[in-house]
Structure 1
Amino acid sequence: TYTSLLSFVPLLALMFAVLKGLGVQNRLEPLLLEHIAVGGEEFVGRIIEYINNTNVGRLGTFGLVFLVMTVLTLLSNIEDAFNSIWYVRETRSLMRRFADYFSVVTLGPIFLVLAVTMTASLESQGIVLQLKQTAYIGPIVIFLFKVLPYVAMWAAFAFLYIFMPNIQVRLQAAVIGGIVGGTLWQLTQWGYVNFQVGVARYNAIYGTMAALPIFMIWLYLSWVIVLVGLEVSYAWQNLGSLRQDKLEGAVSSLEREGVCLALMLYLGRRFQKGAPPARAHQVAAELGLPSRLVRQLLSELVDLHLLVEVEDGDRDETGYLPARSLDGLRVTEFLLKVRGADHPRLAGDAPDLVRARLVEEGLLNAAAAKLGDQTLADLIRDGSEFQCESRQSNSCISPSSSTA
């Protein structure tokens, strides 16, 4: 909300600068006052009047840079929030952010004004007026024109849910989320206007400045609704794995190590076969694991320099590849890295702490003696030595004692 308020004037300045070039900037003002400035029409109206009379070209180099950077900060924060809901770790590059965000700021207002203009023009056509007066078709036509604002809002929300996250969002999921978010937004707007939430209280405290806190509350509610719709989009696209995602917190540390090893073996096998880098959702689907857990562990393996992220040039998710040759990566070395054994130990020489460390070292030495110099590449080549138990247990038997 704070960033939105800070970026509100620069964002409007860029939008009006684009529309001024087309001579249609006056068509944007009614839309902003009707939908954005709920409860703060006077406050926003004064800002729009000031911006409308301002020549952006006279701001100078420093002013233009500040204007653009403020808008980029707002859009970048929106993308980060969306990526957080989608559990996407990587963001767009700086150049791609600039190109994509510039498209939103320039083309968005143009399409918005075109949609409103076409709707108003269509509604004033003679044939439409005649259809409205028809006994049977008239009510349907009137209903369609009443629904059009909702459809436009659904489309705007769906576009936001598809474009802003740095992940491939399916059209169906975006539309479902757009319908939920757009409808909630329209209903909240109606209730906020008709019930005048907080107006009397803020008028008594702030007087003529009451429009500012009222507008800030509406801005906050708007972003909450946008994020609710995005959560619906995420849930719809990941219906199959949501039940598994609930088990993420119940996974033991030992099982997490096993999953990390399984991820490395799967990605290493694909790499040896010459397959393209696998994306997180592909890995989760192939191994039958919760998508959130897979994304989290893949990110941890990247931080440990065991995997690397690879851009595929599309807007899809980043792919993953082994960061080093698996022929030189021993299983014991991998497990020590995953367990964080190379991190500094806590200071302390209490007898119980020393005894616990000795037990831990004994377990590590026993595992090293059991596995020997076996590498991850050996596990991939000798996969026949592993036998999977029933699907209900979802666990694998260790290699036969011949590897000792």
Structure 2
Amino acid sequence: MPLVRPDSGLVAYLRAFSAQFRDRLIDARCPQVAASLAFTTLLALVPLLTVGLIVFASLPGFADIAETLQNFLLQNLLPATAGKIIATYAVQFSQKATNLTLIGTSIVVVTAVMLVLTIDRAFNQIWAVSHRRPLLARLSMYWVGLTVGPMALSAVLALIGHVASLSIGLISAPDHWARAAYARGTTLLVLAALFTLMYVGLPNRPVRFAHAALGGALAAALLSLLQRLFALYLTQFPTYTLIYGTFAALPTFLLWLYLSWLVVLVCAVVVAVLPEVSLRGHFRESFAGDQLLGAMQLLEALSDAQRVGATPSIEALAADTGLGLARTSRLLEDMLQAGWVVTSDTGNWLLAIRCSELQLRDLLEGLCLSPKGLVDSRHPLGMALARRLARLHGPFDDPVSELLTEASGRQRGDQIG
């Protein structure tokens, strides 16, 4: 299978990027996850606002700043009419919820945290993270985000508003282009910063700030465009209003949540794929038997690393083999369950068995054709196939180390030739 090198041209790079983007989008099930997050957000909207109000209520000096945050979210993260109706009721409900007892408040907080845990699971799936943070560490981090985050954002918005009043306060015309451009620019900048922090902080994997910033800017721009297109669609095609009448706000808001989360997740896929294509320098399309070849590549890389006393990370293995993080993560998990590899205390990988003790048959049965699985299926064809596989000997009994030596010798011969 020929390798595509991004450095051979822009077209080749885009081809490699689009292939990786497509595979990751499918693996992460972004449309389905966006739908799940939309429903979860709708259920957790009041609890989230309640947590924010409880925090701001404990700090009297932040009352005006809290109003600034509320206005910013209403104007930039919600569609016209429908979103604002839902948000108005949600604020009213959350204000009443601040009078709940300790048990009621605990339930509200748990509901809010459940939404954040769902987001955490979605992001780690996009980044193909197999080892997530401990639950206590995640809860602590998200609790800080739910409490300190709104205050920090409110302070930033208040500062931006103060700077704006000083810098363009001399402009008397309310519709002056500088005033409008400043408002739009600062809105996009704040949204881009929020998404950048989300892409850097949520995955349990190092993310380059430049890649996260690019994804954050893309998400902010797409969300702003989506808001305008969504408002235009509701104006020109009032389908939900005609069907649902007064209750049209709910399905409209739910659709907006779905599209918004889809934008956020798609941009997260972009951020996750960028380092794979740029670092790997090559890309191989998947094919029948690719899983077996990928496992052989990982065994070779781990064997070479173990020979010099190194324990490579999953990022290093993905870059060395050109498999990408998602494919590498899946293969390592399968190999871990088979007992061929183990993880170190630092989360790096090393062989658990010598390649001379591992036969090609083990790889075939562990990754491609499982005789036990065929027998357990209790299907006559499966059981017949399992009996045929049990008779296969010869090359399938060769140790993996022989294949690695053969491939290494042929590669040196090709380089000399």
| TM category, shorter | 0.7 to 0.9
Q: 1:26 to 1:147 in 2, by over 3 A?
A: closer
Match for residue 169 of structure 2? 129
Q: Matched residue of 2:129: which SS?
A: coil
Measure, in 1, the Cα distance between the counterparts of 2:211 and 2:51. 31
* 2:125 matches 1:84: yes
Deviations 1:224-243 (A, max 9, x none): 11122212223333333789
Quick one: which amino acid aligns to residue 337 of structure 2? Answer: D
Match for residue 159 of structure 1? 197
Deviations 1:240-284 (A, max 9, x none): 378955612x1x32x533432342343244345432x42222012
Q: TM-score, normalised by structure 2?
A: 0.75
* Maintained 8 Å contact 2:291/2:367: no
Q: Matched residue of 1:278: which SS?
A: coil
Q: 1:44 to 1:129 in 2, by over 3 A?
A: closer
Displacement after TM superposition at 1:383 (Å)? 7.4
Match for residue 101 of structure 1? 142
Quick one: which amino acid aligns to residue 303 of structure 1? Answer: Q
* 2:301 matches 1:266: yes
Q: Matched residue of 1:40: which SS?
A: helix
* 2:357 matches 1:305: no
* Maintained 8 Å contact 2:301/2:320: no
* 2:93 matches 1:50: yes
Deviations 1:280-333 (A, max 9, x none): 220122234444432221121122232234463xxxxx42233x3538944357
Match for residue 212 of structure 1? 250
Structure 1 window deviating more from structure 2 (194-203 vs 26-35): it is 194-203
Match for residue 12 of structure 2? none
Deviations 1:151-204 (A, max 9, x none): 111111111111122222111111111111100111111232355358733333
- 1:339-354 paired onto structure 2 within 5 Å: 339=368, 341=370, 343-346=372-375, 347=378, 354=384
Q: 1:245 to 1:99 in 2, by over 3 A?
A: farther
Measure, in 2, the Cα distance between the counterparts of 1:190 and 1:311. 49
Displacement after TM superposition at 1:100 (Å)? 1.5
1:184 to 204, 218, 222: 222
Question: How many residues are matched?
Answer: 366
* 2:32 matches 1:7: no
Quick one: which amino acid aligns to residue 333 of structure 2? Answer: S
* Maintained 8 Å contact 1:241/1:291: no
Greater radius of gyration (CA) = 1
* Maintained 8 Å contact 1:85/1:231: yes
Measure, in 2, the Cα distance between the counterparts of 1:245 and 1:278. 20
* Maintained 8 Å contact 1:245/1:291: no
Measure, in 1, the Cα distance between the counterparts of 2:85 and 2:138. 34
Percentage identity across aligned positions? 22
- 1:284-323 paired onto structure 2 within 5 Å: 284-310=318-344, 312=346, 318-322=347-351
Quick one: which amino acid aligns to residue 169 of structure 2? Answer: L
Match for residue 102 of structure 2? 60
Measure, in 1, the Cα distance between the counterparts of 2:117 and 2:248. 30
Quick one: which amino acid aligns to residue 116 of structure 1? Answer: L
Q: 1:199 to 1:18 in 2, by over 3 A?
A: farther
Q: Matched residue of 2:271: which SS?
A: helix
Displacement after TM superposition at 1:16 (Å)? 1.6
1:111 to 124, 146, 152: 152
Deviations 1:61-114 (A, max 9, x none): 3x2332222122211221222222222233222111101211221122112111
Gaps of 5+ in 1: 313-317, 395-404
Match for residue 236 of structure 1? 274
Quick one: which amino acid aligns to residue 231 of structure 1? Answer: V
Displacement after TM superposition at 1:18 (Å)? 1.3
Higher RCO (C-alpha 8 Å, min separation 6):
2
Q: 1:95 to 1:340 in 2, by over 3 A?
A: farther
Quick one: which amino acid aligns to residue 315 of structure 2? Answer: H
Match for residue 399 of structure 1? none
* Maintained 8 Å contact 1:245/1:293: no
Measure, in 2, the Cα distance between the counterparts of 1:185 and 1:107. 24
Q: 1:41 to 1:119 in 2, by over 3 A?
A: same
Q: Let me know the Cα RMSD of the aligned residues.
A: 3.5
Measure, in 1, the Cα distance between the counterparts of 2:321 and 2:47. 47
Displacement after TM superposition at 1:44 (Å)? 1.5
Match for residue 18 of structure 1? 55
* 2:392 matches 1:363: yes
